[in-house]
Structure 1
Amino acid sequence: MSAQFELAQNPSDVISAVKFAPETSTRLLVSSWDNNVYLYDTHAEPGGKLLEKFEHRAPVLDVCFGRDENEAFSCGLDWEVRRIDLSSGDQTILSTHDKPANHVLFSAAHNLLISSSWDSTLHLHDLSTPGDFYTLTLPSKPFSMSISPTKLVVAMASRHVFIYELDVLAKAAVESPAGEVPTWQRRESSMKYMTRAVACMPNDAGYASSSIEGRVAVEWFDPSEESQARKYAFKCHRQAQDGQDVVYPVHIVAFHPVHGTFASGGGDGIVALWDAAAKRRIRQYQRFPSSIATAAFSDDGKYLAVGVSPAIEDGQDDIADGAIKVFIRELTETEAQGKKK
């Protein structure tokens, strides 16, 4: 049996992101609309231990670890991209967007921090020269982004999906070219409705994306006709109620780093595991108390963190005490395995 428990000290408002440290799979960052980033040791004591809380000026929309487990980056409704020294608590503003900054990603191989914003730009920060950054203009507002070992996928409004090569972006962050940074591929989302989340496959082969309309699409980077013919989309996170099919947004997709399977989490409070290659659902977990806001696997694939927060689909205007929760699930060795070849 796999064990699952709830963190004892949860944020007080909607959870925006959960991220495990690259080396230490029990070290977890959680960002929240309560203006804080939380650092936990999930297994230091029963219910985990809150190690530190880092206050921001406004709701925090995303957080990620940096070059080591004592460095983090955050962004949010104050428009700022920040570096947080997790050992001293010092915060440094690296750049300021013209509107709220909604995502931050770090590529260790490229020493590159990427932030996105509702101002339809990316900021590319080469961490060897803090304070310097390159602004990349996008055609529309970015909703989600994800990196593979060599690529960045940005899913935007108007069904735009742009794929960049990280080598090219890292070079732009250093050289700040005057012209446009080349896009490796420009695609249109294969889903009719707004993209909610995107996640790259750990094997660098492609990505999965989800929509507000209960669908997930799986696509491959290889532009050949043969590879593009393999892409598909499927319906999920739907519940039959009174003879009606109630459709929920799929807020998160996250790939397992070892098995290459992926988790989806929806407004129905359900987390499901999928085998992308075999086009089948591996398992579905018992319903969580409210909408799945976010989820992430640890780098070793042993743990799954799930952030649960009431959302519009829960039909609640006010958030009840104790409704915001982070669950840690310890996976068995075979729990997230795909179909045997």
Structure 2
Amino acid sequence: MAKPSRSPTPTPPSPSTNSNPNNSSEVLPSPSDSVSSLSFSPTTNHLVATSWDNQVRCWEVLNGSCVPKAAISHNAPVLCSAWTGDGTTVFSGGCDKQVKMWPLASGVQPITVAMHDEPVNKVAFIPQMNLLVSGSWDRTLRYWDCRQPQPVHIQQLPDKCHALAVDYPLMVVGTAGQNLIVFNLEFPQTEFKRMQSPINHQTRCLATFPDKQGFLVGSIQGRVGIEYLDDSKKEKNFTFKCHRIGNHIYSVNSLNFHPVHHTFATTGSDGIISFWDKDNKQRLKSFPEYPAPIPCSAFSADGTLFAYAVCYDWSKGAEHHDPSKAKSHVYLHSVWEDDVKPKYRKKYLLWN
């Protein structure tokens, strides 16, 4: 992976607080409320953010800086986003119980292509099937052909959808009640496997292994689980602690595999980003702590950029929400090969 050019030095933070300890480039304009998802185009350096301010914003990354490209609105907070495989179209879903399709290049107005009975909090596009899949608090997973008004199939879930990860033919859904449902998308209407999370707390996020042999699961308990699908590899399953400061335990909010080196990043409500190597059981890098949670993140398609949001994530409830410190930030960080490439140490770092 070629080394990226260094991003421009941002404006120094005020002396009273180090609001940007990693000196990442800030993406402007900032959303006016908490950021709920970030996603990069699979083909170009376009970044999309959804927010609780009802907005979906798109920027183009040029020479390490983000240039605003366009924005659309929902009628309620927007919770999730996804791209088509060719990188031309964005999908966004939220509390208005619908998914909108937004063709970026054509200038066509977004249209509603999916509906649920409760808020839509997860969405993904499956290029191999030319289908959109949406997960909702209405306890269903729905497959959509965007040319038709009705879902191709409605999959009942045991509880509210909390997490979704798709890499054809593997799809994993996490629901309330610590349920994990695995699908082989070659047979999308049948569950391949249902299991309880290896972590005894609510599932917060999921990520499929790049080789599709298993998945990661992150929880509100500050733990990540590594799960292989093949029962003969059960001895390789393990969980490890992370996003803990002293006796304080924080939620693991996002999991993202690096597209080249297949190591992964976690972000947490403790305001920390860490890069990990699951195969060698190592933490590769831990970044300085931010003064607010990091609710979402994403690697660019070539792995040279890492986007993340810093804002209140409501994990401690409304009583801990301080409007004077509620400003939301989206940052763009250059990824250096030494930070994400496995180090293959002989002595493993043991997790427990």
TM-score, normalisation: structure 1: 0.89
Q: 1:8 & 1:186 partners in 2: Cα distance?
A: 42
Deviates more, 1:144-153 or 1:310-319: 310-319
Matched, 1:55 2:73: yes
1:100 has 2:119 as partner: yes
Cα distance per residue 1:159-194 (max 9 Å; x no partner): 11000011222xxxxxxxxxxx31111111000111
Q: 2:184 is matched with which residue?
A: 165
1:109 Cα deviation from its structure 2 partner: 2.1
Q: Which residue of the partner structure matches residue 237 of structure 2?
A: 231
In the alignment, structure 1 residue 317 sits paired with structure 2 residue 321: yes
- Indicate the residue corresponding to 2:148 in structure 1: 130
| Counterpart residue number, 1:302 | 304
The match for 2:332 is 328
**DSSP-derived class of the 1:132 partner:** coil
Q: 1:288 to 1:311 in 2, by over 3 A?
A: same
Quote the offset at 1:2 in angstroms.
5.8
Q: In structure 2, what is the equivalent of residue 151 of structure 1?
A: 170
My pick for the range that moved more, 258-267 or 86-95, is 86-95
Q: Which residue does the alignment assign to 1:221? A: 229
Instruction: Note if 1:20 corresponds to 2:26.
Output: no
Identify the residue that residue 110 of structure 1 maps to in structure 2.
129
2:201 and 2:6 mapped to 1: Cα distance?
Answer: 35
State the Cα distance separating 1:152 from its structure 2 match: 0.5
Does the CA contact (< 8 Å) of 1:2 and 1:332 recur in 2?
no
Mapped contact 2:55–2:72 kept (Cα < 8 A)? yes
Identity %: 31
Deviations 1:47-100 (A, max 9, x none): 421111111111000011114333111110000111112231511111210111
Please give the per-residue CA displacement for 1:101-138, whole angstroms capped at 9, x wherever unaligned: 101011222212110000000110134x4323121111
Provide closer, same or farther for how the CA distance between residues 130 and 68 of structure 1 changes in structure 2, counting only shifts above 3 A: farther
Report whether the alignment pairs 1:202 with 2:210. yes
Asked if the contact 1:290–1:323 (Cα under 8 Å) also holds between the matched residues in 2, the reply is no
In 2, Cα distance between the equivalents of 1:190 and 1:263?
20
User: Counterpart of 2:12?
Assistant: none
1:194-245 CA-to-partner distances (Å, cap 9, x unmatched) read: 1111111122121111111111111112132xx11210001111112xxxx1
Q: Distance in 1 between matches of 2:94 and 2:186?
A: 26
How far, CA to CA, are the matches of 1:329 and 1:109 in structure 2?
Answer: 31
Displacement of 1:334: 2.8
The yes-or-no answer on 1:70 pairing with 2:88 is yes
**Count of residues paired in the alignment:** 321
Shift of 1:37: 0.3
- Measured at CA, do residues 131 and 268 of structure 1 come closer, stay the same or move farther in structure 2, by a change above 3 Å? same
> In the aligned structure 2, how far is the partner of 1:305 from the partner of 1:184?
33
SS in 2 for 1:204: coil
Equivalent residue, structure 1, for 2:191: 183
Task: Give ranges in structure 1 of 5+ residues lacking alignment.
Answer: 170-180
| CA distance in structure 2 between the partners assigned to 1:313 and 1:204 by the alignment | 31
Q: Which residue of 2 aligns with 1:270?
A: 272
Provide the rounded CA distance (Å) in 2 between the counterparts of 1:112 and 1:291: 33
Kept after mapping to 2: 8 A contact 1:203/1:260:
no
- Does structure 1 conserve the Cα–Cα contact (< 8 Å) formed by 2:42 and 2:85? no
For the residues of structure 2 that align with 1:148 and 1:19, how far apart are their CA atoms? Answer: 15
Contact kept? 1:289, 1:323, Cα under 8 Å: no
Please give the alpha-carbon distance, in whole angstroms, between the structure 2 residues aligned to 1:316 and 1:233: 30
Structure 1 position 43, deviation (Å): 2.2
Alignment partners' CA distance in 1, 2:61 and 2:31: 14
